[in-house]
Amino acid sequence: MNDTLISCRNIEKIYMKGKQEIRPLQELSLDVKKGEFLALMGPSGSGKTTLLNLLAGIDSPNKGQLLFQGEDISRYSRKKLCRFRAKHVGYIFQLYHLVPVLTAYENVELPLLITPLSAKQRHERVSSALEMANIADRASHYPRQLSGGQEQRVAIARALVSDPPLIVADEPTGDLDAESATYILGFLQKLSREFNKTIVMVTHDPGAAKYASRTLHLDKGHLLEKGHVDS
């Protein structure tokens, strides 16, 4: 039985800045297993977020193969990538990206509005996600009425609501106090260990990376080091 969720083979990403060619990723290969909690570390400009965006189907590589559950998504059209993300990927970002005029409940429900689910089914999914993220008691609150840690819990519930196999997190604790950050990182670890969610997290914080089951270090588009971290 193949336990690999994502396989990258000789991935390259190329951007043009005026006449200058920028290569944030060069001939990069890596496998991510189902249920793994992977931390991506490295200096600014090392290619971490570029790699995260490729793994999540936000962007496509210029060269190489990107396999998700054995299917090559590297040549998907934008429309097909959009459908792929809606089904397979949940997003958690540093600044939450909640809609200020919607309640916590409504923010979590947003990804489901483009699905064929009934109102009852959506309610069940949203309620379950809010409970999992321990934020159900703030369902009727607006983002301005929540602390940073509470906003991030709502963002996590939104990422979970469609039950995707992959959760990507870009500096998810970078804007939080220590107590809230510890809770969020512990919860991500629980999602991996107990619910078999695959987590890929970009972080600058070695303390945050300790929650992951594996840490990869990137520099100038190259994978420099692989290591398992005990937590």
**Number of domain units in the chain:** 1
Instruction: Report whether pLDDT(17) > 60.
Output: yes
Q: Please give the share of the chain, as a percent, with pLDDT higher than 90.
A: 72
* 221's tokens: 């588009």
Residue 64: give the domain boundaries. 4-228
What's the pLDDT tens digit per position in 188-229? 999 999 999 999 999 999 999 999 999 999 988 788 755 444
How many Å apart are CA 15 and CA 199, to the nearest integer?
27
Predicted model pTM: 0.89
- Which has more pLDDT, 94 or 230? 94
What's the pLDDT tens digit per position in 149-168? 999 999 999 999 999 999 99
The pLDDT value recorded for residue 230 is 41
DSSP state of 36: -
Cα angle 108-201-80, degrees, rounded to a multiple of 5: 60
Average pLDDT estimate for 18-45: 91
The pLDDT value recorded for residue 231 is 38
Average pLDDT estimate for 66-88: 91
Exposure pattern of 162-187 as b/e (b: 16+ CB <10 Å)? Answer: bebbbbbbbbbbebbeeebbbbbbeb
Q: Please give the share of the chain, as a percent, with pLDDT higher than 70.
A: 97
CATH of residue 209's domain is: 3.40.50.300
The pLDDT value recorded for residue 225 is 57
Average pLDDT estimate for 69-76: 92
